[in-house]
Structure 1
Amino acid sequence: MRITPALVAACAAIGTVLTAPHSSAAPGYDEYVALGDSWAADATLAAALVTTEFVPAGCAQRIDNYSRQVAAALDIPTFRDAACAGAVTADMLVDQPVGRDLWPGANTPQFDRLTPTTDLVTVLIGGNDVGLAAAVRGCVTVDPAVSPCQRTWVVDGVDRMSRNIAAAEPHVTAAIEGIRLRSPDARVLMLDYFEGVAANGGCFPTIPISPTDVDWLAAKLVELDAMLARVARRTGVEFVDTYAGSAGHDACQAPGVRWAEGLVPYTSDPPGPALPFHPNQLGVNYQARTVISALTA
């Protein structure tokens, strides 16, 4: 999902910066680079939580996203975060336009942050390549008996989202190979997307998506994550499975329990503006804990 700076600036900003606890058990790293899309940026609409240290404001990168928590917890001296809302694998190599209103500009190619001395890389990418985030917006309906996503994406027995996932696999593979080429000695961790949508029929009308479409979205998320796991195995990088530990924390759950927000652009964790169907602070902290656990195991 691409975030306009006008939307970021318009939202009230309330938030408490949380950091993961220090871990002394992890091996030492000198240079950490984080790559990816809005789920790697942990994109936020709370203007006070948006950082422009490494990327334009239009990337909506959260000042305490999971990669920053990892860098702080492991006391990594050199850290660069290229993650940007709306990013696709092609944006590893080219400028990504962001900010059409107040802050027009571009996020420079994400691979520009990698060097031969980079020794730790995390990457979360692929959701925008397949169009899953954009598909969610087309699922909204006033009638739970109507399933616009199924009608749009499954035509004559062919699931076009499944086709998109298959088509994106070589691009994600190429992204990992590009990391290896630029930072051959780096430890590379590929994350997946945790369970923001569960195959439980949903919670209409709180989230106005039909039970059929909710289950379809949940199945496509599992399919996307399975593709990312295959790429990790094939390319020999480490796979950080955030989906596995996230059951029961989908967007239909109560505040304080859910780790991702639904369609209402507000979160109580912490109170303030939220990006629909993206991690709230609890989800961000969960991502950070999972990566730190992988690094310190």
Structure 2
Amino acid sequence: MALGTLCAQPAGATPLRGEYVALGDSAAAGPLIAPQDLTVPGCLRAQRNYPAVLADRIGVRLRDATCSSATSENVSAVLQRTPAGTVPVQTSLLSVHTRLVTLTIGLNDVKMFSVALSCAELPGSVPCSQRYRRGGIDELEIRIDRQRPKWGQTLDAIRRAAPNAKVVVVGYGTYVRAGGCASQPVTPADADYLRAVVAHANTVMAGQAQRRGMQFVDLAAMSAGHDMCAPPNRQYFFGLVPASVGAPLHPTALGMVAIGRYVAATMDH
């Protein structure tokens, strides 16, 4: 089956021979977005996450291995422990029959979620932009740079397990606008710092993907203006204090739809 044929299928088309396997962490899984996939409750996976939207858009059968809190090692080598039990290594779903793979991974390797939550502006707290930058050394930048070989190894494991698949690595979006906003408890300096950290992670992962002939889809521009500072009806990402039921700093239901459609539209045919 040619990949051009795969990409040309309209939404709602009959599933093609072969399969699409989605890999990744909570940015792909969609924690707390209703309805949740109760077959894997420990993964906090939404039924309508971006992989599901993408699969419908291009008309392929989806096998979803995404799992909240996953690290790159859980994708390629290490069983993941969840509150509801252990889940298999994500690449175990791949095979010679897999025709498309998407992957969103990396920020859990550097504990970015807990870092970002700690950046909430509290009385007497030290700003993140100072706490993680000392003496001209940026601790988070160093953490990310150290992941280069591991992220590359994860991509190599995907290629070995799915030799006939197109692999699309999907980056992380724009979580907060430049300078932040009054509606979110983060200082302007910390908002800009968090943007820089996520951008660096995207750059490092993009380099690893492109070196291996894999496509990298950058969500930064498409999600600009739809960050946590946007009105709830325009948010692609929940804020530090979500306006509705959802996981802080994770995609909203609207965001999942937008991301799935964007990946479908920008995939190399």
Specify if TM > 0.5.
yes
Matches of 2:246 and 2:110, distance apart in 1: 23
Matches of 1:261 and 1:209, distance apart in 2: 14
Q: Report the CA distance between 1:242 and its aligned residue.
A: 1.6
Which protein has the bigger helix share? Answer: 2
Partner of 2:198: 221
Partner of 1:284: 256
Partner of 2:187: 210
Identity of aligned residues (%): 34
Indicate conservation of the 8 Å contact 1:147/1:212, yes or no.
no
Matches of 1:242 and 1:94, distance apart in 2: 28
Matches of 1:119 and 1:52, distance apart in 2: 26
Q: Report the CA distance between 1:52 and its aligned residue.
A: 3.1
Partner of 1:80: 63
Check if 1:192 corresponds to 2:178.
no
TM-score normalized with structure 1 length: 0.81
3-state SS of 2:221 partner:
coil
Indicate conservation of the 8 Å contact 1:131/1:161, yes or no.
no
Matches of 2:138 and 2:12, distance apart in 1: 44
How many residue pairs get matched? 259
TM-score normalized with structure 2 length: 0.89
Partner of 1:119: 99
3-state SS of 1:120 partner:
strand
Cα distance change of structure 1 residues 296 and 89 upon mapping to structure 2, 3 Å threshold: closer
Is there any run of 5+ residues in structure 2 with no aligned partner, and where? 1-9
Partner of 1:22: 11
Render the CA deviation track for 1:127-152: whole Å, top value 9, x for unaligned.
11122222111111235x96431232
Matches of 1:195 and 1:29, distance apart in 2: 35
3-state SS of 1:176 partner:
helix
Matches of 1:264 and 1:146, distance apart in 2: 18
Partner of 2:31: 43
Matches of 2:127 and 2:189, distance apart in 1: 10
Matches of 2:38 and 2:131, distance apart in 1: 37
Render the CA deviation track for 1:14-44: whole Å, top value 9, x for unaligned.
xxxxxxx7176xx955211100000011222
Check if 1:262 corresponds to 2:239.
yes
Provide the alpha-carbon RMSD of the alignment.
Answer: 2.1
Partner of 1:11: none
- Out of 58, 72, 83, the residue aligned to residue 42 of structure 2 is 58
Amino acid at match of 2:64: D
Render the CA deviation track for 1:114-165: whole Å, top value 9, x for unaligned.
112111100010011122222111111235x964312321122210000011
Matches of 1:123 and 1:66, distance apart in 2: 11
Is there any run of 5+ residues in structure 1 with no aligned partner, and where? 1-20, 268-272
Partner of 1:97: 81
Indicate conservation of the 8 Å contact 1:147/1:213, yes or no.
no
Cα distance change of structure 1 residues 29 and 254 upon mapping to structure 2, 3 Å threshold: farther
Cα distance change of structure 1 residues 262 and 253 upon mapping to structure 2, 3 Å threshold: same
Render the CA deviation track for 1:155-194: whole Å, top value 9, x for unaligned.
2221000001101111111111001101101010000011
